[in-house]
């Protein structure tokens, strides 16, 4: 690792710490921009421990930009199943096709070109540019916002444009021209391992003599966060229809959560409702129009928490006689129960299926 005497002391100490403590990760050591991109997108909303296996499987299935671009979206979503935030996978798929078209299949090197790809923001573009091409761009993620805010006791909220601008300017001033990739990875690891959101390891911190928050005994006050979290409640009523060895699913096509994934017939209500109330619902009557004797079990209830939504789901198991003639609207498909694994589904549906397997 090549450092200059002109590099700030904080930078030199951070890189020394990184050399001795960096995590061994499957994407470390690569300068392949495609692999850096995949790892960064996976880790945007995913813990490293969970992301590791997904990264390995994703790279095995789609080893390069061309393989991803040529894949069907359903195949991409199936490989992403369980990670959540499926727009990440759809954006990557779109961007891979964009790279094949605009850049003749070669991952762009310029920061501005990387930033122009769908789903890539300033942080991811900086991470790819620095790690793959050694370009001097500071990558500012949640870890960096926290570390810099504490080191310099920044009073601006990290969720304001001004606060992020201040952190970015400081980060760029600390960036060693010779080692931008190592610095970006070092400060991210440092935020994950030492300067953690709760109970930071201040006594083990190699930067404690420079940390204004630590020196003033105000570590817990930083970073300043004025973002208000709001959570929308939604009530989903699913019908798991069993017809011999078959069941029915449909693909979500609206601009909403889980677009492109498959699910059982669904009726969403504005508030919790009983089965008796549900059966009076016009949407349910339209769904279950067949003159059949429907055996409907008590619901299996599942709570699923997303970043800005709480989904209260009831899954009603509906059993039809094997010889019954039953039809749903044409956007539903009838499949064998054993084939469910071939379709990408939301984690919510996965939780329900796991619960009935265990019962």
Equal fold, 9-221 vs 232-358: no
Count CA atoms closer than 13 A to 314's CA, side-chain side.
Answer: 17
- 330's CB contacts (< 8 A; 6+ apart) are none
> What is the C-alpha to C-alpha distance for residues 93 and 112, in angstroms, rounded to an integer?
19
Q: How far is CA 82 from the centre of its chain?
A: 10
Q: What is the pLDDT of residue 229?
A: 67
Domain at 9-221, CATH homologous superfamily: Hypothetical protein; domain 2 (1.10.340.30)
> What is the C-alpha to C-alpha distance for residues 106 and 58, in angstroms, rounded to an integer?
19
What is residue 236's DSSP assignment?
E
> What is the C-alpha to C-alpha distance for residues 253 and 332, in angstroms, rounded to an integer?
12
Q: Are 272 and 312 in contact (CB under 8 A)?
A: yes
Taking each helix axis from N to C terminus, what angle separates 161-174 and 142-151, rounded to the nearest 10 degrees? 80
Q: What is the pLDDT of residue 291?
A: 53
Q: What is the pLDDT of residue 45?
A: 80
Q: What is the pLDDT of residue 86?
A: 93
Q: What is the pLDDT of residue 359?
A: 57
| Predicted TM-score (pTM) of this structure | 0.83
> What is the C-alpha to C-alpha distance for residues 195 and 210, in angstroms, rounded to an integer?
13
Active-site option among 2, 19, 40, 179? 40
Active site residue 40: yes
Q: What is the pLDDT of residue 330?
A: 83
Q: What is the pLDDT of residue 191?
A: 96
Strands 300-305 and 309-320: antiparallel
Angle at 342 between CA 338 and CA 346, to 5 degrees: 100
> What is the C-alpha to C-alpha distance for residues 99 and 118, in angstroms, rounded to an integer?
10
Tokens for 353, please give them.
Answer: 């299926």
Q: 232-358: which CATH architecture?
A: Alpha-Beta Complex (3.90)
Nearest to 106 by CA among 58, 60, 80, 69: 69
For the chain, how big is the Rg over CA atoms in Å? 25
In degrees and rounded to multiples of 5, residue 175 shows phi and psi of: -70, 120
* Residue stretches of the chain with pLDDT short of 50: none
Q: How far is CA 88 from the centre of its chain?
A: 7
pLDDT in tens, 228-257: 667 899 999 999 999 889 999 999 999 999
Indicate the domain borders of the chain. Answer: 9-221, 232-358
């Amino acid at each position: 690792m090549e450092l200059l005497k002109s590099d700030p002391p904080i930078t030199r100490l951070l890189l020394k710490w990184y050399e001795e403590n960096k995590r061994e990760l499957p994407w470390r050591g690569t300068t392949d921009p495609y692999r850096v991109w995949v790892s960064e997108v996976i880790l945007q909303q995913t813990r490293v421990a969970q992301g590791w296996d997904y990264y390995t499987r994703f790279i095995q299935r789609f080893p390069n930009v061309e393989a991803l671009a040529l894949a069907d979206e359903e195949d991409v979503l199936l490989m992403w199943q369980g990670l959540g935030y499926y727009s990440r996978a759809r954006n990557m798929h779109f961007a891979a096709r964009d790279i094949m078209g605009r850049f003749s299949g070669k991952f762009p090197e310029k920061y501005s070109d990387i930033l122009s790809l769908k789903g890539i923001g300033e942080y991811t573009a900086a991470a790819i540019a620095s790690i793959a091409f050694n370009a001097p761009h500071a990558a500012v993620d949640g870890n960096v916002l926290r570390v810099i805010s504490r080191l310099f006791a920044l009073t601006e909220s990290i969720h304001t444009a001004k606060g992020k601008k201040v952190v970015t300017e400081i980060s760029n001033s600390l960036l060693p021209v010779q080692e931008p990739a190592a610095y970006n990875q070092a400060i991210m690891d440092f935020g994950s391992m030492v300067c953690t959101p709760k109970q930071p390891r201040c006594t083990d911190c190699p930067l404690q003599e420079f940390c204004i928050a630590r020196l003033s005994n105000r570590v817990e006050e930083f970073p300043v966060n004025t973002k208000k979290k709001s959570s929308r409640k939604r009530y989903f009523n699913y019908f798991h229809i069993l017809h011999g060895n078959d069941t029915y699913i449909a693909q979500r096509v609206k601009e909403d959560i889980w677009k492109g994934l498959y699910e059982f017939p669904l009726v969403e209500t504005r508030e919790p409702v009983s089965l008796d109330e549900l059966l009076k619902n016009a949407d349910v009557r339209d769904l279950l129009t067949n003159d059949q004797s429907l055996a409907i079990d008590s619901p299996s209830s599942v709570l699923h928490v997303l970043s800005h939504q709480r989904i209260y789901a009831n899954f009603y198991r509906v059993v039809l006689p094997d010889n019954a003639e039953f039809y749903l609207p044409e956007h539903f498909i009838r499949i064998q129960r054993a084939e469910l694994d071939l379709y990408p589904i939301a984690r919510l549906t996965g939780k329900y299926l796991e619960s009935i397997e265990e019962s």
